[in-house]
Amino acid sequence: MSALIAVVALIVAVGACGRESAGPQAVREGADAAKFADEIRQRISTDAMMSHLQKLQDIADAHGGNRAAGEPGYDASVDYVAGALRDKGFDVQTPEFEVRVFKGENGTVTSGGASLVAMPLQFTIGTKPEGLTAPLVPARPGDAPGCAATDYDGLPVQGAVVLVDRGTCPFAQKMANAVARGAVGVIIANSVDEKEMGGTLGEDTDVLVPVVSVSKADGAALRAKPEQVTIKISAETREFKSRNVVAQTKTGATDNVVMVGAHLDSVPEGPGINDNGSGVAAVLETALQMGAEPDVRNAVRFGFWGAEELGLVGSANYIETLDVEELKDIALYLNFDMLASPNPGYFTYDGDQSAPRTRNDSAPRVPEGSAGIERLLVEYLASADKESQDTSFDGRSDYDAFTLAGIPSGGLFAGAEEKMSAEQAKLWDGKADEPFDPNYHKDTDTIEHIDRTALGIQGAGVGYVAAFYAQDQGGRNGMPDRADRTRHVVAPS
């Protein structure tokens, strides 16, 4: 599950699976669907999923302790998953995409002996270790400070660090105008009172000088007494290629696809066996047990996403390559991220929006059909003697691009860094006031900390719900017919 890191994905090559129809639009027979779903459910064993997790653990152990995007362990993970699918007869694609990752740490602006906190703007360059020292020249205040090059007329900007207020125009424009007059650095002063000011220069900006932000109060102090300043900031932007893994059954209607996905990468800090080896193991085993040519009415497409931990990049890249017709071909998306937390919960994504919200909560994107997915998953968990609770569509996993495109989505989740409540501990026989996964994004996210019971229940649930919709997309838990689907092309950000 992703944390917030500044990333931009640039498309190099990606192939959506073919959309030629393999037959008429889905025949809807719920009884047959339930029978098939239960057959697939029974085939998905905990031991088989643990075997996949052991392979991923071995890969991490052999490659510096992680399977992070851009690292050898991730490439080995791609090869393992793609090889297992090919061995089962699937035609497998591993489309590449480019990732641009910004990493920066708070630094300082020193002036007159006072050291002020400075935040790097995304995609800025850093300074040398000794910092950048130059005279400070404040831009003239106004309604659009620094938004025109003429704002610096008559000011000694050449070789100076410019101080300019936030507001009106993009940060990149303020930077470019100062640099055009010879500035060697830029400090953006916040225009409102807040602890920190985020901001980006943009992924396509040619950044030539360090650009940092300071608080409104610190900006006022610098403006009141402009003198020589020293900026020290650590920042870098790394670019590399990564891959998704995509495979689709050779049977079933390809204009009514069931898509099932899990992110394949870990964080750099650890092997990522729960996050998200557990989802990978369940989705992979579902594909292997279903096979490349199952007797299904609707095709099933499996996606293993790269660079999720860097901002959901692989899944977003995939969606960005699809046109409206290709998006309509995907009837629904099922996402599985963290299924075997050591102190597990049994959550379903809140497709019916029944979870309480406060007045200040923003409503998430929940396309029509998502409520049916949640109901089917709730019914499945009940059949496994587990009462479910809602988890929000909060944008922290790969469903995000699919819901943005209008594709109904749902999935299971065992919990991350949040603590289990007393009520939940009673419900699930867990440990109250302890995190669902105390190893989240740590080097201790290893196979030894997988909860086998949760993996068995939720992993089999992956197979159940995927198989059910492969046969039946009608009824109360069904999806809109293709002709009635609303989809939105998603442009690269």
Beta bridge partners of 410: 334
**Any catalytic annotation for residue 417?**
no
Annotated active-site residue in 71, 285, 308, 374? 308
Question: Of 400, 220, 406, whose CA–CA distance to 330 is shortest?
Answer: 406
Secondary structure (3-state) at 307: coil
Using CA of residue 274, residue 4, residue 283, residue 331, what is the dihedral sign? positive
The angle at the Cα of 430, spanning 283 to 264, to the nearest 5 degrees, equals: 25
- Residue 253 forms beta bridges with which residues? 298
Amino acid at 311: G
CB 346 within 8 A of CB 389: yes
Structure tokens belonging to residue 456? 């068995």
3-state secondary structure of 342: coil
Q: Is 109 exposed, middle or buried (0-12, 13-18, 19+ CB in 10 A)?
A: buried
Q: Among 278, 308, 309, 294, which residue's Cα sits nearest to residue 462?
A: 278
* Helices H / strands E in the chain, number of each: 12, 16
Closest to 263 in 3D by CA, of 250, 282, 249: 282
Give the total residue count for the chain.
Answer: 493
Q: Which of 400, 418, 425, 415 is nearest to 493 (CA)?
A: 400
As a whole number of Å, the CA-based R_g of the chain is 25
Ramachandran bin of 353, using left for φ above 0, alpha for ψ from -120 to 50, beta for the remaining angles: left
Alpha-carbon dihedral sign for residues 154, 159, 165, 169:
positive
What distance in Å separates the CA atoms of residue 369 and residue 379, rounded to the nearest whole number?
Answer: 16
Query: What DSSP character marks residue 435?
Result: B
Q: Tokens in use for 476?
A: 């109360």
Instruction: Give the DSSP letter of residue 483.
Output: G
Secondary structure of 180-195 as H, E, C letters: HCCCCEEEEECCCCCC
Q: What DSSP string runs through 54-122?
A: HHHHHHHHHTTT--BTTSHHHHHHHHHHHHHHHHTT--EE--EEEEEEEEEEEEEEEETTEEEEEEEPB
Residue 117 CA to residue 371 CA, distance in Å, equals 46
Place of tokens 């919709």: 469
DSSP state of 139: P
Catalytic residues: 308
